[in-house]
Structure 1
Amino acid sequence: MRPALRGLVVALALAAGTVQAETVGEVSTVFKLLGPDHKIVVEAFDDPKVEGVTCYLSRAKTGGIKGGLGLAEDRAEASIACRQVGPIRFREALKEGEEVFKERTSLVFKTMQVVRFFDRTRNTLVYLVYSDRLIEGSPQNAVTAIPILPWPSAH
């Protein structure tokens, strides 16, 4: 995607309140004769309200015919690692437990979400990934934390 187009997509996503993840890489875990293979996907997204923070998610994507058509339900497991990638600046006030990222993981009823907390005592941003369903969610989750530290300036 060209840089100008990518910037427009990011701007529209931020305006709509939804952050789009960028695929960093993927590995196949199960070969499927028909449709795409089952795989683990690694995606990255920037926190829309905290400049200087990028989060990386790894999660399973169901393949096969149903997966290729978007009808399969992906597993609830996900892993997250968020990192400081530049000076941290708050673009606006943060809300506790605020949704930072959300992606549909089944046709209708299931989503994977990332929410953010600010641990004031330790001056740390905490990100939690979990999956939920319309009726019943999953207790499986993963957490990562970023201490807010000064960013070294280039001389």
Structure 2
Amino acid sequence: MHASKLLIIAALLFGSGMAHAQKIGSVDTVFKFIGPDHKIVVEAYDDPKVKGVTCYVSRAKTGGIKGGLGLAEDKAEASISCHQVGPISFDKPLKQQEEVFNQSLSILFKKLRIVRMVDVQRNALIYLTYSDKLIEGSPQNSVTAVPVDRQISIPIK
């Protein structure tokens, strides 16, 4: 009974707050005899509050038996590149700094996060990706900027 409760709690934690990403592709980096290969995956995330901006994130995905079962902890390294893919518009004012996506990297407590910051002086949107853990995060990070046309004012809360 105790193990089933832990699995339910883990499933709730694992499933809550998941970012909705579109898988673009992947490449294998290490062959595994049993289970899926280790790989690098590329995913696209559309900013939910900024129409016309998409972020592309590449990250390591652990394979093998644990990876195939969803029990492996993926590495903290990730790279991000965000771009204007259509006309930029805002439905509501943005916070100066706000987490816009997160995705679990392990069954418990490790997440890949993407934070949007607004650079008002330069009229740009800055996106930072990093990973954290309940106890200890990683200083590894990646940053990208999307300049917004000066004719479009970025609304701030």
Which category describes the TM-score, using the shorter chain as reference length? 0.7 to 0.9
Q: Give aligned-pair identity as a percent.
A: 65
Question: Where do 1:48-127 residues align within 5 Å?
Answer: 48-127=48-127
Give the C-alpha shift of residue 150 in structure 1. 7.2
Q: Which one-letter code corresponds to 1:29 in the other structure? A: T
Q: Which one-letter code corresponds to 2:37 in the other structure? A: D
TM-score between both structures, scaled by the size of structure 1: 0.84
Give the C-alpha shift of residue 125 in structure 1. 0.2
Spell out, residue by residue over 1:61-103, the C-alpha distance to the aligned partner (whole angstroms, 9 max, x if none): 0000000001000000000000001111012121122111100
Q: Which one-letter code corresponds to 1:22 in the other structure? A: Q
Distance 1:18 1:29 in 2: 25
Please name the residue that 1:8 is paired with.
Answer: none
**Aligned CA-pair RMSD:** 1.6
Distance 1:42 1:125 in 2: 21
Runs of 4+ in 1 over 3 A off after TM superposition: 16-19
Q: Which runs of 5+ in 2 are unaligned?
A: 1-15, 152-157
Query: Higher relative CO (CA 8 A, sep ≥ 6), structure 1 or 2?
Result: 2
- Equivalent residue pairs, number: 136
Give the C-alpha shift of residue 124 in structure 1. 0.3
Please name the residue that 2:132 is paired with.
Answer: 132
Distance 1:18 1:72 in 2: 17
CA contact (8 A) 1:87 1:150 kept: no
Q: Which runs of 5+ in 1 are unaligned?
A: 1-15
TM-score between both structures, scaled by the size of structure 2: 0.83
Please name the residue that 2:44 is paired with.
Answer: 44
